[in-house]
Amino acid sequence: MLTDKFGRRVNYVRLSITDRCDFRCTYCMAEEMTFLPRQEVMSLEECLRIASVFVSMGVNKLRLTGGEPLVRKNVLWLIERLGELPGLDNLVLTTNGSQLDRFAPALKAAGVKRLNVSLDTLKPARFREITRIGDLDKVLRGITAASHAGFRRTKLNTVMMRGINDDEFVDLVRYAVNHALDISFIEEMPLGDIQGRSSTYISSEETRARLSSHFDLLPSTENSGGPARYWRIPQSESRIGFISPHSHNFCDTCNRVRITARGELYPCLGQNDALQLLPALRSGASDDQLRQIIMDSMGIKPFGHDFTQQMDAPQVVRFMSMTGG
């Protein structure tokens, strides 16, 4: 098993397969992004090999991220092969939902167990403002398509932004409940040089207090294997989650590492330390040599991050889209 120096077992990898996206969300990217040259991005075969090595080390949960993973050419080739890996119990995908209306049945057939869909608003004009170029109706059709394809417990991810979408939190929960979806509210993270976050930040506690005046929220001990802490609404299957990297970070139970589309292994989202996998892959490293690099990364995995006082002067200057959602 893969264990860090603090005794935490790492059994969850978030693998970015592209830094490109068909949206330009304001909290994730600069308006004018410079994307990686194609030759600096891992091939699908390299992504598969890295995933296979991690699974051989006891990782049983793999989340594909981006950018938007479904804009990657021939992405189903990779997903189908990942779905066949012995020992990989939980293949999941985070998406902006723009491509789900055409990919949902194939994703289900390939072995994807669960979907996370980013959704910050139910208002078309506001959706376009936040995403800069996105079409809300297309995303909502994608969520419906996922349900028709047989996906259950699809989770909405909502980034909380004061003065931008905080007036919709109740409506978003009602949408989730009415469509048998889970929803997680996420504190905005200080990644990338994006100004103004200190004025839009909202804590999980404030949002939960707002929701409690409309819903009877009951604490739950459920765990989906990620950082969300869940609450339940009586007579509903929906779970209401809160991801709190600022106010109540979850570092003491961290079980994950991230791989960027260029093969950088980040043991911690909130730190800059990384090890390079792509040069080893392309120089003919054996699986044992790759395992050693991965083991070495456990030595630089810190106990935790500290996002306090970093909102408008972030310690981590790479954008979220570069790290992997």
Residue 84 to residues 67, 96, 103, 117, 143, Cα–Cα distance (Å): 24, 25, 18, 24, 25
Quickly count: other Cβ atoms within 10 Å of residue 199's Cβ.
Answer: 11
Sorted by sequence, the CB contacts under 8 Å of residue 109 that are 6+ apart come out as none
Higher pLDDT, 263 or 1: 263
Question: What is 12-323's CATH number?
Answer: 3.20.20.70
What is the per-residue pLDDT for 260?
96
Cis peptide before 67 (omega within 30 of 0): yes
235: phi > 0 → left, psi -120 to 50 → alpha, else beta; which?
A: left
Q: Which two tokens stand for residue 20?
A: 């490109």
Mean pLDDT of 43-53: 98
* Distance between CA atoms of residues 110 and 113, nearest Å: 9
Q: What is the mean pLDDT of residues 265-290?
A: 93
197-227 tens-digit pLDDT: 578 999 999 999 999 999 999 999 888 777 7
C-beta separation of 18 from 65 below 8 A: no
Lowest mean pLDDT segment, chosen from 65-79, 151-165, 257-271, 301-315? 301-315
Flag whether pLDDT at 248 surpasses 70. no
Q: Give me the pLDDT at residue 45, please.
A: 98
The answer to which of 72-76, 107-111, 308-312 has the lowest mean pLDDT is 308-312
Give the sign of the dihedral formed by CA 80, CA 73, CA 262, CA 197.
negative
pLDDT at position 136 over 60 = yes
pLDDT at 19 over 90: yes
| Residue in the structure block whose two tokens are 């800069």 | 132
CA dist 162 and 213 (Å) reads 18
The pLDDT value given to residue 196: 58
* Predicted local distance difference test score (pLDDT) of residue 206: 96
